[in-house]
Chain A
Amino acid sequence: MHWEYAPAPQAQDIVELRPSYGLFIDGEFSDPDDGTSLETVNPATEQVLARVAAAGPRDVDRAVTAARRAYQQTWGPMPGRERAKYLFRIARLVQERARELAVLETLDNGKPIRESRDMDIPLVAAHFFYYAGWADKLEYAGFGPSPRPLGVAGQIIPWNFPLLMAAWKLAPALAAGNTCVLKPAETTPLTALLLAEIIQQADVPPGVVNIVTGDGLTGEELVLHDGVDKIAFTGSTEVGKRIQRAVAGTSKHLTLELGGKGANIVFEDAPIDQAIEGIVNGIYFNQGHVCCAGSRLIVQESIADAVIDRLKRRLQTLRLGDPLDKNTDIGAINSPGQLDKITELTASGIREGAERWSSPCALPDRGYWFPPTILTRVSQSHRVAREEIFGPVLSVLTFRTTQEAVSKANNTPYGLSAGVWTEKGSRILWMADQLRAGVIWGNTYNRFDPSSPFGGIRESGFGREGGRHGLEAYLDVR
């Protein structure tokens, strides 16, 4: 059955793009002192959206100095109940401007409006709302009777959930009483800059949140700056290791949320319709640009062929194209660099013996696109089973016994997430105990909640974001 869809475009005029954006330092936008600028592009059209400042060393220094001053003079001495109200204000303002944020996120990142509207932005508001309530209750958080903030937090975030990652970083840091210098990703700076406007509207004191856009060099300046007490980083394991090396021997606190190669394990007794949707959501959600993506399907041999057949049928119904169309399931790959990486790794899979199947959907002429893809005949030694692809590419492995499923799932230096699909509740809990990962989803995948701690083990990093545990990253608990 082939369904025709009428176009259902989300109007863009809700967003007012400026031709260029400065740095948000000490409560105001300013041009860089010694920085440069870079273009941010709509990955679905290759059109330049705006020019954005790239902060240089003096700019980063200005931001850290402003954050230090705010920490000492306003935010630090402020009672938690007052900090809380600022955070509640931010949550409300995000809700009020939710559609505008969603459209801007989709323009800058390439993700479908359905996801930015229904997932990213509501979770942003929820995250601020959740942590707002902690600001005046820290003494009950289980980190001692009067836990102290760390000071100035330098926070570096990725491009896959630009505003959501900003919220994950800012909300707990501010609730705990720290001030922040946030460095958004090079290719997705715009929603963070809109958040800066929201922070102005909320009358948050100057310097409490500073946003320095730029590339990796800006991030490096921030990591190395002596005035920073804490570094929080979300991104690749490779860069995470560099940051951990850079803070070695200093007194800087560090939390890292890094890559993953999540196993999505499907037992033969699984609720299959649900599991198919879960596999799709696990790896094709957000074009697979998800650190906790279920990029390895580990399916019981007895149902493997049936699952793969159904998966292929399901993928053919996914609509790839204009991310602003409300019926779009698969948006654009965020950057040409990422597209190259996905293409190269997928090709390596075929060279090493995997079999490729891609959804036969048409790709738009402009923009960066990769069709939903399944690799079968994958063995554990293949690069596509070991390395994070960060794209809509699923590697399929099979198992016979439960123990084999556990061994294969754990056969990775990463340890961020895993999914288990089975009708047996007891088996979900047994598997959850055996799997080496920070987050285990039973009969679901890629589900997030501000009250639920998220983070990895092993080379997926350390520290938690979300929940009571997420406060620990921003409190002096030693």
Chain B
Amino acid sequence: MYDERIGVRKTYKLAIGGQFLRSESGRTYVVPDSSGTFSANAALASRKDVRDAVVAARTAYRGWAGTTAYNRGQVLYRVAEMLEDRYLQFGEAVSAGEGSDEVKARANVTMAVDRLVWYAGWADKMAQVAGSANPVASPYFNFSIPQPVGVVGVIAPQRSSLFGLISVLAPVIVTGNTAVVLASEERPLAAITLAEVLATSDLPAGVVNMLTGRISEVVPVLAAHRDVDALDLCGVPADLAAGIEEIAAGSVKRVLRSRGAEPDWSEPPTPRRMLSFVEIKTVWHPIGV
């Protein structure tokens, strides 16, 4: 009698344009858990994968930026619902990846859920808080509104593989941008599982494209890509940041610099991250009979 059940392991893939794909290069890299034991092979994204992800993000951009703010808020809230539902699963994943005990890891997941809810509520307030009606000295209705900058390359925090990731991703997409995310290099698995949540959360395909791989390989390609409008360098180590910023200058990208040590994600958030990925559009509309 054989009574041990052999577990069914998951293949971790890239999430590009709503599909879960292996790297076109066929490469993977070993992801150990926090104790150093083999945990999984993650896809090792190539330059071509990055370009495909940017195409997917650009394709999704028009639709996502064009949805109503109310709708975007609901979609983000839906992501929070889906995540809450799976908080045990994510607790395990975070615990395994980050080496924290499961109670702490679960608390981490619930904070991530709350962070999503906080950002979801911002969707239809951003224009009111960051916009303005301007009292110009001529017969025009002059108003300024925040607009998404477009496709944003997000280099996720290296340590906080889920809560940190959500804290940088939510402000990018709630404002109407689409994202190409490079997950934490050493702790990428929670990000891929999150992509599976996103795929079932009413988030249109391509709004978030999740890559796993090497910073040194992926980020210079993102920084040089002319169809990427902005970068969040959160997870880029200090010694690489200057070089990446230099490449980004080639197409005048907006860059949210990495601030050295990873932030304490449990600190209350501010609108800053959202404001880094919108730009103000001013419209002069004539007044007359």
Q: Which residues of A contact B (CB under 8 A)?
A: 126, 142, 144, 237, 240-242, 244-245, 248-250, 256, 258, 413, 425, 428-429, 432, 437-444, 447, 449, 451-455, 457-462, 464, 467-469, 477-478
Say whether, besides A442-B286, A455-B280, A449 and B251 are in contact (CB < 8 Å). Answer: no
Chain B nearest Cβ from A258, distance in angstroms: 7
Find out whether the CB atom of A440 lies under 8 angstroms from the CB atom of B252. no
The answer for the CA separation of A442 and B140 in the assembled complex, in Å, is 9
Chain A residue with the shortest CB-CB distance to B273: A478
Chain B nearest Cβ from A195, distance in angstroms: 22
The answer for the CA separation of A459 and B134 in the assembled complex, in Å, is 25
The stretch among B31-39, B42-50, B207-215, B241-249 that forms the contact with chain A is: B241-249
The answer for the CA separation of A468 and B129 in the assembled complex, in Å, is 12
Find out whether the CB atom of A248 lies under 8 angstroms from the CB atom of B246. yes
Is B71 among interface residues, defined by CB-CB distance under 8 A? no
Q: Which residues of B contact A (CB under 8 A)?
A: 129-130, 132, 134-138, 140, 142, 144, 147, 149, 226, 229, 241-246, 248-252, 254, 270, 272, 275, 279-286
Find out whether the CB atom of B250 lies under 8 angstroms from the CB atom of A469. no
A462 contacts which of B147, B242, B246, B254 (Cβ < 8 Å)? B254
Residues in A neighbouring B272, C-beta threshold 8 A = 477-478
Say whether, besides A249-B241, A429-B283, A447 and B252 are in contact (CB < 8 Å). Answer: no
Find out whether the CB atom of B137 lies under 8 angstroms from the CB atom of A449. yes
Find out whether the CB atom of B140 lies under 8 angstroms from the CB atom of A447. yes
Chain B nearest Cβ from A328, distance in angstroms: 24
A240 contacts which of B252, B270, B281, B285 (Cβ < 8 Å)? B252
Residues in A neighbouring B245, C-beta threshold 8 A = 244-245, 248-249
Pull 21 A–B residue pairs with CB atoms less than 8 Å apart, ordered by A.
A126-B137, A248-B244, A248-B245, A248-B248, A250-B242, A413-B251, A425-B285, A439-B282, A439-B283, A439-B284, A442-B284, A444-B284, A447-B138, A447-B140, A449-B142, A451-B134, A452-B136, A458-B229, A467-B132, A469-B132, A477-B272
Say whether, besides A256-B252, A437-B281, A452 and B129 are in contact (CB < 8 Å). Answer: no
Which of A142, A242, A249, A256 has the most CB atoms of chain B within a 10 A radius of its CB? Answer: A249
The answer for the CA separation of A447 and B226 in the assembled complex, in Å, is 31
Find out whether the CB atom of A458 lies under 8 angstroms from the CB atom of B252. yes
The 7 closest A-B pairs by CB, nearest first: A249-B242, A248-B245, A244-B249, A449-B136, A248-B246, A245-B249, A443-B286
The answer for the CA separation of A178 and B203 in the assembled complex, in Å, is 43
Which of A126, A244, A413, A468 has the most CB atoms of chain B within a 10 A radius of its CB? Answer: A244
Chain A residue with the shortest CB-CB distance to B238: A249
Chain A nearest Cβ from B170, distance in angstroms: 18
Residues in A neighbouring B244, C-beta threshold 8 A = 248
The answer for the CA separation of A238 and B144 in the assembled complex, in Å, is 28
Chain A residue with the shortest CB-CB distance to B276: A478
Find out whether the CB atom of B144 lies under 8 angstroms from the CB atom of A467. yes
The answer for the CA separation of A459 and B149 in the assembled complex, in Å, is 12
Chain A nearest Cβ from B140, distance in angstroms: 7
Find out whether the CB atom of A441 lies under 8 angstroms from the CB atom of B281. no
Find out whether the CB atom of A457 lies under 8 angstroms from the CB atom of B249. no
Find out whether the CB atom of B282 lies under 8 angstroms from the CB atom of A453. yes
Find out whether the CB atom of A432 lies under 8 angstroms from the CB atom of B281. yes
The answer for the CA separation of A459 and B240 in the assembled complex, in Å, is 24
Residues in B neighbouring A469, C-beta threshold 8 A = 132, 144, 280
Residues in B neighbouring A429, C-beta threshold 8 A = 283, 285
The answer for the CA separation of A449 and B279 in the assembled complex, in Å, is 19
Chain B residue with the shortest CB-CB distance to A455: B280
The answer for the CA separation of A443 and B286 in the assembled complex, in Å, is 6
Chain A nearest Cβ from B144, distance in angstroms: 5
Residues in B neighbouring A477, C-beta threshold 8 A = 272, 275
Residues in B neighbouring A460, C-beta threshold 8 A = 252
Chain B nearest Cβ from A416, distance in angstroms: 11
Find out whether the CB atom of B281 lies under 8 angstroms from the CB atom of A440. yes
Residues in A neighbouring B134, C-beta threshold 8 A = 449, 451-453, 467
The answer for the CA separation of A467 and B130 in the assembled complex, in Å, is 12
Chain A residue with the shortest CB-CB distance to B285: A442
A449 contacts which of B138, B248, B254 (Cβ < 8 Å)? B138
The answer for the CA separation of A460 and B280 in the assembled complex, in Å, is 13
A440 contacts which of B138, B226, B229, B283 (Cβ < 8 Å)? B283
Find out whether the CB atom of B252 lies under 8 angstroms from the CB atom of A462. yes
The answer for the CA separation of A471 and B78 in the assembled complex, in Å, is 36
Find out whether the CB atom of A454 lies under 8 angstroms from the CB atom of B285. no
Chain B residue with the shortest CB-CB distance to A445: B284
Find out whether the CB atom of B251 lies under 8 angstroms from the CB atom of A142. no
Find out whether the CB atom of A248 lies under 8 angstroms from the CB atom of B229. no
Find out whether the CB atom of B252 lies under 8 angstroms from the CB atom of A241. yes
Chain A nearest Cβ from B122, distance in angstroms: 14
Find out whether the CB atom of B252 lies under 8 angstroms from the CB atom of A244. yes
Chain B nearest Cβ from A436, distance in angstroms: 8
Chain B nearest Cβ from A334, distance in angstroms: 24
Find out whether the CB atom of B137 lies under 8 angstroms from the CB atom of A245. no
Known: A256-B252, A469-B144. 15 other contacts (CB 8 A): A240-B252, A249-B242, A250-B242, A425-B285, A429-B285, A440-B284, A441-B284, A442-B140, A444-B140, A449-B136, A451-B136, A451-B142, A460-B252, A462-B279, A467-B282
Residues in B neighbouring A443, C-beta threshold 8 A = 286
Which of B138, B144, B252, B254 has the most CB atoms of chain A within a 10 A radius of its CB? Answer: B252
Residues in A neighbouring B285, C-beta threshold 8 A = 425, 428-429, 432, 442
Find out whether the CB atom of B142 lies under 8 angstroms from the CB atom of A245. no
Chain B nearest Cβ from A459, distance in angstroms: 5
Chain A residue with the shortest CB-CB distance to B249: A244
Find out whether the CB atom of B279 lies under 8 angstroms from the CB atom of A438. yes
